[in-house]
Amino acid sequence: MVETGRRMNASGINQGTSGNISIRNPHGFLVTPTSLPYDRMQPEDLVQMSFDGTYEGSRRPSSEWRFHRDILQRRPDVEVVLHCHSVYATTLACHHKTIPSFHYMTAVAGGTTIRCARYATFGTQALSDNALEALEDRMACLLGQHGQISLGRSLAAALALAIEVETLARLYVQALALGEPPILSDAEMARVIRQMKNMSYGQAPDLDDAERPKAD
């Protein structure tokens, strides 16, 4: 977790002491502490939390522990929650913009869009509730006037998704400079999502038999 936090900052998707990470374990979950730079953080600084909100150790948990707890409780398919303040994703979040399917890779978050959650004060239950709503059937979302959340089954997967969300956000901001970009249809995005699932299962990203061109 500490190394992932350092990689998060080194990649440019986070700055200073902002952002936080959690990972599920048999006793609840570990979460990064509040107000401690990643370059000074050590494994013993991580905070063990229970799902009832209690914690152990000398450091206080991240102020955002509520959405870490609630996401891990609600989403048994997720092991890691990563939150960061990446510049382009946050730029869109400041305008409460959802990322539409302007590019097929939007499907990497599990659907046709990457939603933006409604604004709520950081560290509150309202922010957690809004994040859960935006993450319904998704692996990532933006947080209104705040940042982004990316989920994963591993630390590496969550970090890779956060970087991909930031890349998409940057592309979308740049595309908007030329005007509203065309949006891929839901039917095409369903096809893309199916291809991505096939690839994750180790299958070649070929067309389904029903969609293959017929031989003469």
Give the span between the Cα atoms of 23 and 152, in whole angstroms.
9
Q: pLDDT, tens digit, for every residue of 66-121?
A: 999 999 999 999 999 999 999 999 999 999 999 999 999 999 999 999 999 999 99
Name the helix (H) or strand (E) containing 9: helix 2-10
Other C-beta atoms closer than 10 Å to the C-beta of 175 total 14
Both tokens of residue 32? Answer: 């990064």
pLDDT tens profile 152-187: 999 999 999 999 999 999 999 999 999 999 999 999
Active-site residue (options: 3, 56, 64, 211) = 64
CA distance 186 to 20: 33
Give this prediction's pTM: 0.92
Q: Which two tokens mark 196?
A: 């991505």
- Residue 200: pLDDT band (50, 70, 90) is confident
Q: Is 133 known to be catalytic? A: no
Q: Which domains does the chain have, with CATH numbers?
A: 11-18+64-205 (3.40.225.10)
Ramachandran angles phi, psi of 20, nearest 5°: -165, 160
Residue 204 has pLDDT above 70, yes or no: no
For the beta sheet containing 47-49, the strands, ordered from the edge strand earlier in sequence to the opposite edge, are: 55-56, 47-49, 28-31, 20-25, 80-84, 147-152, 140-143, 116-117
Average pLDDT value for the chain: 93
CA-to-CA distance for 150 and 129, rounded, in angstroms?
16
